[in-house]
Amino acid sequence: MSQRTQRLGDQIQRDISGLIRQRLRDPRLGMVTISAVKVSPDMGYADIYVTILGKTLDESPDEGIAILNAASGILRGELGRGLRTRIVPHLRFHHDVVTSRGNRMADLITQAVAADVKNAEANNSAEVDATNPDSTPADDSRD
């Protein structure tokens, strides 16, 4: 990617994030985060990678992507008013799987650490019982 397309992508990212926040008031959309914009070398199109957080984390982002792609013409028109370029790229929205994969890896690491802590606590209590031969199990039959 050339420096010019990189700068244009950065400008599109800033402008589109503001436009989505201000102009698109679809309650189905949820919170949209734009993670990257890649502009084609001929500046004919811009691939916009987004992460959409809905009301629940289990929701599929496909509906939000469809809403954004349906509104891409409106967003492109608004974007054209702010950009100082001869050509305004066509906008294509995509779900950012890198962020989703990163979140999944963080969850797996958290689960593994919790399991290690639990196993270490179990091993420590077993070692304490083994080193203290005078300890006997509590007798609850005296009640």
pLDDT, tens digit, for every residue of 76-128? Answer: 999 999 888 888 999 999 998 887 778 788 889 999 998 888 888 888 777 66
Query: How confident is the prediction for the chain on average, in pLDDT?
Result: 83
- pLDDT for res 50: 92
pLDDT, tens digit, for every residue of 21-60? Answer: 888 888 778 888 899 999 999 999 999 999 887 654 456 7
Helices H, strands E: what count in the chain? Answer: 4, 3
Question: Residue 89 maps to which CATH number?
Answer: 3.30.300.20
DSSP letter assigned to residue 60: -
Asked if residue 82 and residue 29 are part of one domain, the reply reads yes
Asked if residue 125 and residue 68 are part of one domain, the reply reads no
Asked if residue 65 and residue 36 are part of one domain, the reply reads yes
Cβ neighbors of 39 (< 8 A, separation 6 or more) are 1, 5, 6, 8, 9, 12, 45, 46, 47, 89
Partners of 47 in the β-ladder: 38, 92
